[in-house]
A and B are shown apart, each in its own frame.
Chain A
Amino acid sequence: MSDAPLLTVRNLRVVYPSDEGDFRAVRNVSFTLGRERLGIVGESGSGKSTTGRAIMGLVPEPGRVEADLLRLGDTDLRTLNERGFRKLRGKRIAMVLQDPKYSLDPVMTVGRQIAETHRHHFRSSAKQARAAALEMLEAVHIRDPERVYTQYPHQVSGGMGQRIMIAMMLIAGPDLLIADEPTSALDVTVQHQVLAIMDEQVRKRGMGLILISHNLHLVSSFCDRVLVMYAGQIVESCKAAHLSEAQHPYTRGLLAALPELGHRRLVLPQLQRDPAWLEDVAPLTDATP
């Protein structure tokens, strides 16, 4: 393994054409990712999920993805067609979605859904795929894999469902996992458990992780690095540990709004939005370090 970054994104743009002109969902987003945990924070509509989907090649029609550079390892994602992306998905990049209640096929047993990924990428026999799936279920700490294998999504709890989702996405051994609000739909009590399992897998396999969330607190405590997005752009990029020294007023506003233990506020702080934040940030050029 070299030190070359896992993922390089430079000036990523996602545009949805519409009657009233183009809507720019993502504007000149640039970052690189090594085998680390990167958090992307932002409110809904800030373009954080769209960024994730653009990397997966899953931006729905009629959306357009453009970038100056979009590389996964040594693969140029910009030149890939749908077929090329299909070989990457699951095998090299995978994605965990928000709510296992909706993101697992309700009429297929969870075991088959996990094995399906394996069969698809390794052309394995039903038997091999089943064995691999059972092993994967154990790896995400499911106690009775044989039983869970034959269950349907509605029969498992939310926390268990999300672990199944992780198993389904990691079984083909991807290098990069994009987790889009992986715990927002879960009970607070199981959120940490699911995050811990995800963390364990990511570390063990030496993967990169992009954690997309609206929860600043969660991202800052879990990730190595944090990007803050607002209106389709990155407004802040810093080490998670240094978040308290953030520069951008939006980030500062978010930090100020976080509740603190043992410190009851009379007035809840309100985020004052500045129209200036909507203006385009200068795109990255070769000159910028």
Chain B
Amino acid sequence: MNVAALATPSAHGWVRQIAGPVHRVLKVLFSVLLTFLGLTCVTFVIGRVIPIDPVLAIVGDKAPPDVYARVRAEIGLDLPLPVQYWRYLMKVLHGDFGNSVITSQPVLADLLHVFPATLELSLLALIIGVIFGVPIGVIAATHRGRWQDQVIRFGSLLGYSMPVFWLGLVGLLAFYAKLGWVEGPGRLDVGFDDIVPTVTGLIVVDSLIAGEHDVFVNALSHLVLPASILGYLSLAYVARMTRSFMLSQLRQEYVLAALAKGLSPFRVVWVHALGNAWVQLITVIALTFGSLLEGAVLTETVFAWPGLGLYMKNSLFNADLNAVLGGTMLVGVVYIGLNMLSDLLYPLVDPRARESS
């Protein structure tokens, strides 16, 4: 790109310093834009291939042909496909996903209402996954081939082989029904509803802000089981990837050099090798968060967690296509956003990515 061409060695240092990041950001934005267009294309196509005739849904199948044709024209179905797509795209860009059939509210409003619950669940799961998964993966790599490694490898293989909905059920059965350690389905007990004003939408956070200790404990007790179960899945994946990244880092010459300096293996592993592994881990963590959103669809169904997943599932069975496509779009946008974020965060951990090359 032309921006990069400015950064000749003879140019002033600051031009070079700015041109690099700008070029990078432009590149990322360009790819995000393309992916977003692709996303809208796919949802548009899904909306068109649906076997239900949207006109019939409005006028009923006994309507006379002229009424049918009029409604068809009103919805814009008589227009050529590219024009229809363009209209659809404009609507999406304005946040207009149509109205939900079930709630008869704009889909966007519904989505914004349910999304914080999903965010709360998947964020905690991600935190669990990273806090435990990274160290576990490092330990597996440094004990390669020994029993620690075998146990960790097998344990994480069990994790990503697990049907999450089934684990959720078993978890409910054990920890809620039999042992009574945690609260059951839902986000809060009935008595605690609507006590805390919504600030962030994350009840655990909001209750702390409002200083409602009881609500916090109750919310956490509801949250901990589904989050741990999702967290285990992300832990399994993060640990596996950390292990393989660390193995390749530990083979590098700089590890030998650091040992030759007299550093302790602990420092060499956790500072030098892991510092380099983070470069690759950032992308993995972003991807993990995306897959947690997916896992949330199933987990929310099991735990009656009033989030995006449950909303989409309910919409699905009421043929509420606007809501389903809106939800898909939201998850897709979050996904794209995460990818973009990891691309932009990259330079923070990798100095080599800070300049354009």
**Residue of A95, A99, A106, A169 most packed against chain B (CB within 10 A):** A106
Residues of B within 8 A of A105 (CB): 254, 257-258, 272, 275-276
- Name A90's contact: one of B261, B267, B279 (CB within 8 Å): B261
Most chain A beta carbons < 10 A, residue from B254, B259, B262, B350: B262
**B10 close to chain A: CB less than 8 A:** no
Measured in the bound complex, the distance between the Cα atoms of B216 and A221 in whole Å is: 76
Whether the pair B257, A103 counts as a contact (CB closer than 8 A) is yes
What size tier do the contact residues of chain B reach?
20 to 34
- Which listed segment binds B: A115-123, A128-136, A186-194? A115-123
> Is the pair B351, A94 in contact by a Cβ cutoff of 8 Å?
no
Q: For A121, what are the chain B residues with a Cβ–Cβ distance below 8 Å?
A: 262
B263 touches A120 (CB 8 A): yes
A152 and B262 CA atoms in complex are apart in Å by 21
- Asked if A69 is an interface residue, CB under 8 A from chain B, the answer is no
User: Does A88 touch B at the CB level, under 8 Å?
Assistant: yes
How far does the Cβ of B99 sit from chain A's closest Cβ, in whole Å?
50
B351: which of A87, A88, A97, A106 is its contact (CB, 8 Å)?
A106
The answer to whether B253 and A58 have CB atoms under 8 Å apart is: no
Q: Is the CB of A89 within 8 A of B349?
A: no
Q: How far is the CA of A121 from the CA of B264 in the complex (A)?
A: 11
Residue of A nearest to B351 (CB): A152
* Chain A 44-66: CB-based contact to B (< 8 A → 1; otherwise 0): 00000000000010100000000
List which A76-133 residues lie within 8 A (CB) of chain B: 82, 86-91, 94-95, 97-99, 102-108, 116-117, 120-121
Contacts of B264 in A (CB 8 A): 86
Interface presence of B260 (CB below 8 A): yes
A108 to B279, CA, bound (A): 12
Per-residue A-contact encoding for B335-357, CB less than 8 Å = 1, 0 else:
00000000000000111100000
B102 close to A (CB within 8 Å):
no
CB of A165 within 8 A of chain B?
yes
B263/A98 in contact, CB under 8 A: no
Complex contact A152–B352 (CB within 8 A): yes
Shortest CB distance A150–B (Å): 10
- A139-166 CB mask vs B (1 if < 8 Å, else 0) is 0000000000000101100000000010
CB of B228, distance to nearest CB on chain A (Å): 32
Contact between B256 and A94, CB atoms less than 8 A apart: no
Q: Are A169 and B350 in contact (CB-based, < 8 A)?
A: no
B262-A99 in contact (CB<8A):
no
Partner of B272, one of A88, A108, A172: A108
A107 touches B263 (CB 8 A): no
CA distance A146 to B241 in the complex (A): 38
Please tell me if the beta carbons of A102 and B252 are within 8 angstroms of each other in the complex.
yes
A102-B253, A154-B351, A154-B352 known; A107-B262 Cβ under 8 A: no
Q: Are A117 and B262 interface neighbours, CB within 8 A?
A: yes
Interchain residue pairs with CB less than 8 A apart (25): A56-B260, A58-B260, A87-B262, A89-B262, A90-B260, A94-B260, A94-B261, A102-B254, A104-B254, A105-B254, A105-B258, A105-B276, A106-B254, A106-B276, A106-B350, A106-B352, A107-B351, A116-B261, A117-B261, A117-B262, A117-B263, A120-B263, A168-B257, A168-B261, A172-B261
Apart from A97-B253, A116-B263, A168-B257, what are 9 other A-B pairs with CB-CB below 8 Å?
A95-B257, A95-B260, A103-B254, A105-B258, A106-B350, A106-B351, A107-B351, A108-B275, A120-B263
**Which 3 A-B residue pairs are closest in the complex by CB-CB distance?**
A90-B262, A89-B262, A102-B253
